């Protein structure tokens, strides 16, 4: 038990723990082409090329009329810059074989940064400090309502 207590300061703590895996989205468009053709001739080719990337947790794709995207989720701890480089290299190699009129696929990175909902809020009511409305007809006590994270060092 003493060893456990001694290890507490060494634990990694995040104010907003990560709720999702790091991921990337590869998006493209192909003006006014039916979804079935987008899926068959572009989305499935990109998806197949990226399916062999290391540390991939999940791949999903969506094809609609005139556009599509492929979402890739990676295992925690993956080097996203290296994965992005590998994706860009694979897209560069396969793009010349895609049908004419398909836009060059864009890669966007979604880092697992966690939630944006603070864990704790606090309220400070200061006696003797007040403010008056612009019309001057009412005076209110000064109340500060802020998330604790606003005052923690980054």
Q: What distance in Å separates the CA atoms of residue 1 and residue 72, rounded to the nearest whole number?
A: 42
Residue whose tokens read 């197949």? 48
CA–centroid distance for 89 within its chain: 22
| Contact assessment for residue 39 and residue 94, using Cβ atoms and an 8 Å cutoff | no
**136 conformational bin, left if phi > 0, alpha if psi -120 to 50, beta if neither:** left
Looking at the structure, do residues 33 and 71 belong to the same domain, yes or no? yes
- The number of distinct structural domains making up the chain is 2
One domain, residues 74 and 130? no
Residue 119 has what pLDDT? 53
Same domain, 126 and 106: no
Domain co-membership, 80 together with 101: yes
For residue 76, the model assigns a pLDDT of: 86
Q: Does residue 125 share a domain with residue 49?
A: no
pLDDT block averages, 10 residues each, the chain of length 154: 62 54 91 93 94 92 94 89 92 94 92 53 53 56 53 52
Instruction: Say if residue 38 is in the same domain as residue 86.
Output: yes
Query: Would you call 39 helix, strand, or coil by DSSP?
Result: helix
The reply to whether 98 falls in a domain is yes
What's the rounded Cα separation, in Å, for the pair 12 and 51?
32
The dihedrals phi and psi of 143, each to the nearest 5 degrees, come to -120, 130
147 in the same domain as 92: no
Residue 15 domain flag: no
> What predicted TM-score, i.e. pTM, was given to this entire model?
0.61
Query: What residues make up the domain containing 60?
Result: 23-110
Report the CATH number at residue 92.
3.30.70.1430
How buried is 30 (Cβ within 10 angstroms: 0-12 exposed, 13-18 middle, 19+ buried)?
buried
The pLDDT of residue 68 is 95
Which pLDDT score is estimated for 21? 75
At 136 the pLDDT is 58
pLDDT for residue 137: 57
What six digits make up the tokens of 17?
């723990």
């Amino acid at each position: 038990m003493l060893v456990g207590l001694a290890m507490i300061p060494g634990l990694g703590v995040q104010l907003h723990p990560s709720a999702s895996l790091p991921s990337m989205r590869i998006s493209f468009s192909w003006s006014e082409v039916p979804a079935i053709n987008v899926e068959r001739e572009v989305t499935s080719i990109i998806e197949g090329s990226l399916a062999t990337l290391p540390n991939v947790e999940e791949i999903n794709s969506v094809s609609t009329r005139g556009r599509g995207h492929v979402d890739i989720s990676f295992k925690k701890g993956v080097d996203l810059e290296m994965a992005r480089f590998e994706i860009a290299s694979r897209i560069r190699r396969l793009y010349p074989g895609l049908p004419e009129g398909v836009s060059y696929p864009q890669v966007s990175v979604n880092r697992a940064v966690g939630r944006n909902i603070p864990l704790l809020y606090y309220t400070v009511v200061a006696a003797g400090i007040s403010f008056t409305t612009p019309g001057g007809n009412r005076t209110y006590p000064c109340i500060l309502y802020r998330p604790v994270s606003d005052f923690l060092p980054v």
